[in-house]
Amino acid sequence: MNAPALPIAPVVLPARMAKQIERAKETERILSILHQWGIHTLGQLAALSRDDLAARLGMRAVEMWERANGRGERILKLVSPPESFIESFEFENEIETVEPLLFILRRFLQQLATRLNAIYLVAKELRLRITFADKSHYERIFKIPQPTNNEDILFRMLHTHLENFTSKHPIVAIELEAQPSRSVRQQFGLFETALRDPVQLHETLARLIGLLGADRVGTPMLEETHRPDAFRMEPFAWEFRHPKPEIGHSERSVAKSRNPVALPLSFTTGSLGPSRTGIFARDDEERERGVCDSTGVRGCVPLRRFRKRKKATVLLENNRPAHVRAAEVRAGLAVEGTTMRQDGPFPLSGNWWDERAWARVEWDVEIENGVIARCHCDQDGWAIDGIYD
């Protein structure tokens, strides 16, 4: 028995590629015929009669004949290499202070701005790359809220950042790259508000970040966790109403601005939406109205949360808060006195898998002066979370 032949799957080539292969085969066929005729040089080919060649070998042979006679034209296309806006410098001596760095950076910015101006573009992003003596690198990208070529503005941005910059090793090289973009023109509507000077705001924020740290400046976002009042700071995002949103701000900004879960900016006291209470109720009606668990079901008693936490001293009796004392939590309001009723404990814990592990035990207490407060005990001791309205 003969073994069946292995099937070979047919390969479908793109039409353009198939055409080129056909053309190459045709050329090869013509060349072999010409060799059989004794035609081995371009001069011999050019000396043949065009019409006879066309009659015997077809149009492809005519194309070859025309090229041999210098009559064929092939128009060249100008392809310019993509322009990169990178300036770099390697120091002869290692740099340990910021001044020479700033001097070089200003020169870089001048050159970049000149080159960008020449082709009517502006910088929308700067990438700073610093190489240290131990071959390690530091890289930072500066998003420019309003693309510009203004050297002073760009320099201030770099300067602000480098003011607080420290490193373990001296600097041996520096590189600055600008991302070009078309300049932005925008016209706001009559009732729209816009930043008067986005660059100024950006610079101010950069200064704040330098002073406070990147994790303490931005938009507070609620975290999806059981940790009460947990939030993180996301960098500020702007959305300019341009016809083409890709010009003038980063994609990241657009993505952020679509996120609807931003925490309301109430940094003093305020409720974070529906509170999660297990607070006791005085009667059935109040119970109906007052209960609002973590699922956000009907009827809520809002919790007026204190930020930051108010330290408290709590006296326990039978492991239940019997007396609570906190400094004046709000003007004219003190949480102090014997507790009339307590609800709890509500032990909570999380993030046991990393260094952010937390654990706390919460209580709701009604104090003799009528205030109902939520307090908790964690590794830092007792504190008042807030009071129920």
Q: Does 226 bind another protein (CB under 8 A)?
A: yes
Q: Choose, by CB under 8 A, the member of 253, 277, 312, 375 that binds another protein.
A: 277
Q: Where in 294-333 is the site for another protein (CB under 8 A)?
A: 294-298
- Of 208 and 348, the one with the shorter C-beta distance to another protein is 348
Q: How far is the CB of 222 from another protein (least distance, A)?
A: 10
CA distance 101 to 90: 11
Q: What is the crossing angle of helices 151-163 and 98-118, to 10°?
A: 150
- Of 91 and 346, the one with the shorter C-beta distance to another protein is 346
- The region of 128-136, 152-160, 258-266, 349-357 touching another protein under the rule CB under 8 A is 349-357
CA distance 373 to 104: 59
- Of 322 and 348, the one with the shorter C-beta distance to another protein is 348
Q: Does 293 bind another protein (CB under 8 A)?
A: yes
Q: Choose, by CB under 8 A, the member of 287, 311, 330, 341 that binds another protein.
A: 287
Region label for 189, one of left (φ > 0), alpha (ψ between -120 and 50) or beta (otherwise): beta
- The region of 28-36, 128-136, 182-190, 220-228 touching another protein under the rule CB under 8 A is 220-228
Burial of 307 (0-12, 13-18, 19+ CB in 10 A): middle
Q: Choose, by CB under 8 A, the member of 168, 196, 352, 370 that binds another protein.
A: 352
Q: Does 348 bind another protein (CB under 8 A)?
A: yes
Q: Does 187 bind another protein (CB under 8 A)?
A: no
Q: Choose, by CB under 8 A, the member of 198, 220, 278, 337 that binds another protein.
A: 278
Contacts of 240 (CB under 8 A, 6+ apart): 184, 186, 194, 248, 249
CA distance 275 to 291: 10
Contacts of 308 (CB under 8 A, 6+ apart): none
Other Cβ atoms closer than 10 A to 20: 12
Q: Choose, by CB under 8 A, the member of 20, 164, 259, 349 that binds another protein.
A: 349
Calculate ∠ Cα 337-343-349, nearest 5°: 110
Provide the 8-state DSSP code for 148: E
Q: Does 273 bind another protein (CB under 8 A)?
A: no
- The region of 104-112, 173-181, 290-298, 302-310 touching another protein under the rule CB under 8 A is 290-298
Instruction: Measure CA of the first residue to CA of the last residue in the chain; give whole Å.
Output: 92
Helices (H), the chain: 15-37, 42-46, 50-57, 59-68, 98-118, 151-163, 198-212, 251-257, 284-290
Q: Please work out the total of residues on this chain that contact another protein, with binding judged by CB under 8 A.
A: 26
Q: Does 231 bind another protein (CB under 8 A)?
A: no
CA distance 81 to 95: 34
Q: How far is the CB of 347 from another protein (least distance, A)?
A: 5
Beta bridge partners of 375: 363, 384
Q: How far is the CB of 330 from another protein (least distance, A)?
A: 24
Q: Choose, by CB under 8 A, the member of 97, 244, 353, 355 that binds another protein.
A: 353
- The region of 33-41, 150-158, 261-269, 287-295 touching another protein under the rule CB under 8 A is 287-295
- Of 142 and 280, the one with the shorter C-beta distance to another protein is 280
- Of 192 and 224, the one with the shorter C-beta distance to another protein is 224
Amino acid identity at 30: I
Q: Does 259 bind another protein (CB under 8 A)?
A: no
Other Cβ atoms closer than 10 A to 228: 19
Q: Which residues bind another protein (CB under 8 A)?
A: 223-226, 276-278, 287, 291-298, 344-350, 352-354
